[in-house]
Amino acid sequence: MLLGSLDLLQDDPSGFLRLMVLIAFALVTAITVHEFSHALVSTVLGDNTARRLGRLSLNPMRHLDTGGTIMMFVAGFGWGKPVPVDTRRLSRGHTDMALVAAAGPLSNLIFAFLLAIPFKAGLLVPAGLSLNRVARVMTGGFSDGIADILALVIFFNLMLGVFNLLPLAPLDGSRIVAGLVPKEHTAAYAKLQRSGPGLLVAIIMLDYALGLGILWGTIGPVVRILTSVATSY
């Protein structure tokens, strides 16, 4: 995101500032919904660890991770502060853990579709998302500005939701799969996932250093389809 908008900083500093403010708002909203949902489902399923540590909250500061937020700005991919879950307090162990893990990305997808209702109802007209388009937000009509803000929040919620479904630790997808793995293979799966964080960071860095587009090539088509389904009418 930030790396792809440096030209805008030179050409239109005020537009660059608007872009950063809107990205920050969209990111904070998406991460807060995501992590709160993890905390809510874990609490409902019997583990009060998240609630006891103050994570059952819609206060964004409870959920933001410095490194993950920076990566979101720089690379367009990132994460929030993981919600602590004690599987021993969950009645069905790893099965319930899979439900807790699924709650985050599913909440982002549901939230995005709820925000898209004005588009589906024809009350707002969706505009194509591009850096230059978003940079002009609040310079046109009021309805156009609202449409741009909603479109950006929808986009980041869909992107965060789909990204976190990838089966690589520490993403939620790896924990969802862990809940489906037979008990006799859980140790082997956990060992395999230890390389997940390093592999994920390596892919992100290679994508931006060499322009490989591995991650966006994987989740981009899904995000584009969901965006189209959510906002078209």
Lowest-confidence region among 22-31, 125-134, 196-205 = 125-134
Structural domain boundaries in the chain? 3-231
- pLDDT in the model for residue 170: 87
CB 2 within 8 A of CB 24: no
pLDDT at 31 over 90: yes
pLDDT at 91 over 70: yes
pLDDT digits (tens, 9 = 90+) for 109-119: 999 999 999 99
Spot the catalytic one: 35, 47, 96, 207.
35
- How far is Cα 55 from Cα 61, in angstroms, rounded to an integer? 10
| Cα-Cα-Cα-Cα dihedral sign, residues 32, 35, 38, 39 | negative
- pLDDT in the model for residue 167: 93
At 144, give phi and psi (nearest 5°). Answer: -65, -40
Half-sphere exposure of 54 (CA within 13 A, CB side): 7
pTM, two decimal places: 0.88
Our answer to whether residue 184 is catalytic in this structure is no
